[in-house]
Chain A
Amino acid sequence: MVTNSYDRLIQALGADLTPVRRLAPPGVRTLIWLTIVGAIALALATVSDVGAMSRRLMAAPDMWLAAIGSLVTAVLAAVAAFQLSLPDRKPAWALLPLPAAVFWVAASGIGCLRSWLVPETHPAWLGEAETCLAFILGISVPLSALLIVMLRQGCPLRPNLILVIGWLACASAAATLLNFIHPYDATATDLTVHAFAVATVILANAIFGGRLLMGKDVLASV
């Protein structure tokens, strides 16, 4: 039997050993989370006017481009977050949702020009956009809580990075779901609201992030 200077710690870890069930593959966990997002979308579809939503989206190209961008961002960010929750995955996974996020933000930015391109559309004013912020936060917070619970099951070695990506997934998912109840066209105000919402959740992540993803303190007494 080989012995070394870490025997005390190793014996303590051995004493603490319990059988564990292997973690489900990241793809499966991503699908579970996206299924819950899809269920929320279905619930919103039943209480909102889907036809009106389609007409609103089709009224201006930036609207449906932004919707596609936020949807793809949500999916790719969720994939990246669950991959990053495993120790042996490369941090480059964090780059996966960035192109879609840039596309989403750019498409929303086009809305700034819509007043000139499509004069008959109604841009959102700041007061109207406040309801969007409340909706985004209202959806994003529970989705984020669920995501954190699922990510904690892994062992993220870069908690801040994974939380930024995770929150990007939640914020973009909430922005996608916003289309169901959005009563007016998005413009620069809407983009500002999105940026504020994303910044808010990222700030919360920065404040609480280190502890949010930490599992229980293993053998603190060792």
Chain B
Amino acid sequence: MEGVSTMVVLAAPITTGLTMVDAQTPRPVDNRDRRWGNWMVAAQTGDRTVYETLLRDCTPFIKTVARRQGVSPNYIDDVVQETLLTVHRARRTYDPNRSFSAWLRTIAQRRAIDGLRRQSRNGVWETHAPFAYENHPDPGRDPEEATNQVERTVRLDSAVSTLPASQREAVQHLALREQSLTEAAAVTGRTTGALKVNLHRALKTLRAQLGGQD
């Protein structure tokens, strides 16, 4: 990173009004402003690495501006993203003879105001009611259905396991796996007639065990 910034500063030196105030011992803010300005000049020429570094470096600054404008923490991220997008679109309007921080601050303030307006509009239409949300029943879903389904499956498995092997075989292939008589006959080596008889007897037994339930 240091290599990148040094290269950019050397490649595109600029002068700003801020740095002329105290040229001997420039303040950190002035240094930062000059560094950002140089990086933006490099971004205008298409230097992706420097551009991404600039945007990352600016993020805390944008957050600070948004907070000072009164944006609530929930909306800070939105403001930062909107500001980054605006910076991207407006990058050709940056003039290296002017302060980059002031340029960025104005954009961030404007996007923060937009965020506040959005926040206000949402406040009119939305209500924060976590308990109402949690207690709201889902009309399209029976909460006991899943439990009943599990219970039915367990009972059916238990009943099938008590059947004689030939009947169990017929139920498994014809009813549970939904194979055709020909397929089941090929797999089990039994005739289709035997399979039909075994299935009929198995269903009769199961119906009796399960009390007439499907």
Contact = CB atoms under 8 A, between A and B. Distances in A.
Contacts of B81: 6, 9
B183 interface: no
B45 A88 contact: no
Contacts of A85: 93
Given A6-B59, A23-B93, A87-B107, A218 B102 contact: no
By secondary structure, the A interface counts as loop
B92 A21 contact: yes
Interface residues on A, range: 35 or more
A19 B45 contact: yes
Interface string B85-96: 110111111110
Interface in A82-126: 85-88
Contact of B84 (A1, A6, A22, A155): A6
A99 to B, nearest CB: 25
Nearest to A220: B85
B54 to A, nearest CB: 9
A11 interface: yes
Contacts of B94: 22
Given A4-B59, A14-B48, A88-B98, A154 B93 contact: yes
Given A20-B44, A23-B92, A87-B93, A2 B51 contact: no
B56 interface: yes
Interface string B40-58: 0001111011011001110
Interface of A: 1-7, 9-11, 13-23, 25, 85-88, 153-155, 157-158, 215, 218-219, 222
11 contacts: A7-B56, A10-B52, A13-B55, A13-B85, A13-B88, A17-B43, A18-B46, A19-B45, A85-B93, A88-B107, A219-B88
